[in-house]
Amino acid sequence: MATLTKVAIAGAGGRMGRTLIELIQDQKNIALCGGFDHPDSPTIGSDLGLNAGVAEIGIPIEPNITAIKGEYDVLIDFSLPESTLANIAFCREARKRMVIGTTGFADHRSIIEDAGSDIAIVFAPNMSVGVNLCFKLAELAAEALGDDFDVEVIEAHHRNKIDAPSGTALKLGEIVAAKLDRDLASNAIYGREGHTGVRERKTIGFETIRAGDIVGDHTVLFAGAGERIEITHRASSRRTFAVGALRAATWIMNRKGGIYDMQDVLNLC
């Protein structure tokens, strides 16, 4: 018999939070035990299920993580960096596992890595199964093509996304740079304008689009003499990220500590 995974959701009143709550209703091995949002959110106090457009479940959206009364094993967090960092501190003290899909951490990744000494965390810029397969394909392509091909990463998201490039785009760049033995920090170019001169051989370029309600498009382009290879993933629904996050939540139940990503969850390492 499968182990029941009890989860709580950060940002429960937001789009990803509502999608996760909706999907959990169809899961036999996952139970929703609580959720919270920013204290100023108009969703505070409303029922988790009703707010997500499903049946009433009798659990209100709380104003912070400390207010959750139900017992849970895993916190799923798709919020903002400052909120996630506070949630990490709480979960580390309470010995709660985490699945983190928040992006835009800048210089705070060391805090997440340090927390892995006490709790198990799946930390991934993109929870989509398809995107994580693309990570693996990008690694294989970089290894096969080497320095004979120029590399560009193109990403597009909705108008409300506040960080750029996306965490997924940066992850693609990191994977390719590592396989090509390049330092991404010194070789990345974020957009181009004016008289840029001839392209430096080891450059890895990033182009960002913010428009409309685009859920998430990513392409890593390898361009050589007379040919090019494009590895592309397009998400048409946030459900793909939620499905991956729930898969990660059940997977991490067998881990007591450490930092993992979706490559570990999907056995693509």
Candidate list 157, 171, 218, 233, residue with the active-site label: 157
d(CA 60, CA 77): 17
* Residue indicated by tokens 């991490």: 252
28 is catalytic: no
CA 223 vs CA 142, 147, 151: distances in Å: 11, 11, 7
User: Structure tokens of 66?
Assistant: 């400390």
Amino acid at 183: D
CB 160 within 8 A of CB 214: no
d(CA 2, CA 251): 11
Length of the chain: 269
- Cα three-residue angle 62-68-73, rounded to 5 degrees: 130
d(CA 67, CA 64): 6
Amino acid at 136: K
Candidate list 108, 136, 161, 179, residue with the active-site label: 161
Burial of 131 (0-12, 13-18, 19+ CB in 10 A): buried
157 is catalytic: yes
- 145: CB partners within 8 A, 6+ apart: 222, 224, 229
Residues serving a catalytic function are 157, 161
